[in-house]
Amino acid sequence: MYCEAYSFNHPTMQNKRVVVDALFQQFPEIRYTAIYEAGDLYLQQRQQTADSSAAETDKYEELLVNPAVLLLARQRGNIDCGGLRHIVIAYGPFYQLIKEIRGGHISICLAIQSDLNTLPLRIFSFLAEQYPGLL
């Protein structure tokens, strides 16, 4: 499934759509995914998702909240914790998995029953293998 044609040196909405579609196909636990890179935001929610937040609030979470949370956690992690790998936020009916990428972040909403001990590593390994240069 590796796609050489999708370079993340010059991101496009089509590139992001391909990545999000692949994540939905590979991981049924994923409810929503957003990629914010180089000032462009692409977000998509799985169709059959219950207890979802509003699309407008998702947009502002990706533009304001997640970049600020990542900045604070990265700065703290760089002091004496060896950096920042990713963040998991436990909201009411779901988890939000957030990871920095070059020029932005990827944000993945996971079903509440997801195994947080294994799923983030599986997701990030998949992304690194299928889309080199994204992470």
- Determine, yes or no, domain membership for 135: no
Euclidean distance between CA atoms 9 and 33, whole angstroms: 20
- Determine, yes or no, domain membership for 4: no
Domain extent, residue 34, equals: 13-130
- CB contact set of 39 (below 8 Å; sequence gap of 6+): none
- Determine, yes or no, domain membership for 22: yes
Euclidean distance between CA atoms 88 and 122, whole angstroms: 15
- Determine, yes or no, domain membership for 7: no
Total structural domains within the chain: 1
Give long-range contacts, CB 8 A cutoff, 24+ apart: 110-116: 110/29, 110/30, 110/31, 111/29, 111/30, 111/31, 113/29, 114/29, 116/88
Q: Looking at residue 73, which CATH number applies to its domain?
A: 3.30.450.30
Residue 77 near residue 83 (C-beta atoms within 8 A): yes
pLDDT range class, residue 3, cuts 50, 70, 90:
very low
Q: Which of 43, 37, 38 is nearest to 58 (CA)?
A: 43
- Determine, yes or no, domain membership for 41: yes
What is the CA 65 to chain-centroid distance, rounded?
A: 13
- Determine, yes or no, domain membership for 38: yes
Euclidean distance between CA atoms 96 and 113, whole angstroms: 13
Residue 110 has pLDDT above 90, yes or no: yes
Determine the pLDDT at residue 14. 82
Residue 128 has pLDDT above 70, yes or no: yes
Q: Which two three-digit tokens encode residue 57?
A: 């609030």
- Per residue in 25-71, pLDDT (tens digit) is 999 999 999 999 989 999 999 976 666 667 788 999 999 999 999 99
- Residue recorded with tokens 């990030």: 124
pLDDT range class, residue 112, cuts 50, 70, 90:
very high
Determine the pLDDT at residue 5. 39
Determine the pLDDT at residue 48. 66
Average pLDDT, the chain: 90
- Determine, yes or no, domain membership for 58: yes
- Determine, yes or no, domain membership for 78: yes
Determine the pLDDT at residue 50. 62
Mean pLDDT of 98-122: 97
